Amino acid sequence: MTLCNKVMVVDDSRVNLKIIDLILRRAGYETVLVADSGSVLKAVRDSDPCLILLDIDMPGLSGLEICRQLKESDDCSHIPVIFVTGNTDDATIKKAFALGGRDYVRKPVNEVELLARMLAVSVQLELTERLKYEEKMSGILELAGTICHEFNQPLQVILGSAELLLQKLPVGATGRTLAETIVNQTCKLGEINRKLMNITTYEHKLYIGNSRIVDLEKASTR
């Protein structure tokens, strides 16, 4: 399981930033520290963290407002947010979750609690990614199955008809080479279809430019 590594910490208090930074780096995380609430969105886009620890009470933009903006943005909404706050009244916590926060940690920060909650969110994130992968796989398999079924019917008719034609054409007759080509190429298409039917993993390769296609040789068990 590949868990989250780069974590952004947002807090207007330099002391809090330093404490959390120390805890995270000791635990093996890479950190991105942001003290200015107004620059969080840009910093997120620049550094692409996999998790954000967000203070709530900050001058300028509050953590709740930053969370709302993150969740409304197309490119940042997938990044999980854990609030780090001294303000744990019911209304604030309710709002924090309503705005898309995954969890919260009370200040002063307890090292064990912080790391445990981060790990829990990280595992949750990984499971979500795995589910997306499974859905993608399932879609590919369904598509492959449909293509195979729909293609194999006409392929059967083309192959059989070309073979019948070959039977009727004497050796050396005009068109015999063409009929043989049709038979050979139809057999090749049938083989490609069999590979499609045996796709078991999502393996892909570069195609043209940055576009990617399924790597049939690796994805198929056949």
Q: Does 159 bind another protein (CB under 8 A)?
A: yes
| Closer by beta carbon to another protein, 145 or else 175 | 145
Nearest to 156 by CA among 178, 186, 195: 186
Q: Does 182 bind another protein (CB under 8 A)?
A: no
| CB burial readout 177-197, b (16+ within 10 A) else e | eebeebbeebeebbeebebbb
| Closer by beta carbon to another protein, 33 or else 165 | 165
Q: Does 145 bind another protein (CB under 8 A)?
A: yes
Which range touches another protein (CB under 8 A), out of 44-52, 90-98, 116-124, 192-200?
Answer: 192-200
Binding another protein by CB under 8 A: which of 79, 114, 148, 219? 148
Query: Mapping DSSP to helix (H, G, I), strand (E, B) and coil, where does residue 36 land?
Result: coil
Task: Compute the least distance from the CB of residue 163 to another protein, in Å.
Answer: 5
Phi-psi region for residue 175, left (φ > 0), alpha (ψ -120 to 50) or beta?
A: left
| Closer by beta carbon to another protein, 151 or else 202 | 151
Tokens of 121: 């969110």
- Rounded alpha-carbon distances, angstroms, from residue 162 to 105, 110, 154, 169, 179: 72, 76, 12, 10, 6
Which range touches another protein (CB under 8 A), out of 45-53, 101-109, 160-168, 173-181?
Answer: 160-168
Indicate the Cα dihedral angle 6, 10, 15, 21, nearest 10°: -10
Binding another protein by CB under 8 A: which of 32, 93, 137, 155? 155
> In sequence order, which ranges of the chain are alpha helices (DSSP H)?
14-26, 40-47, 63-72, 90-98, 111-168, 176-197, 216-219
Which range touches another protein (CB under 8 A), out of 4-12, 50-58, 66-74, 152-160?
Answer: 152-160
Task: Compute the least distance from the CB of residue 183 to another protein, in Å.
Answer: 8
Q: Does 186 bind another protein (CB under 8 A)?
A: yes
Binding site for another protein (CB under 8 A): 141, 145, 148-161, 163-164, 167, 186-187, 189-190, 194, 197-198
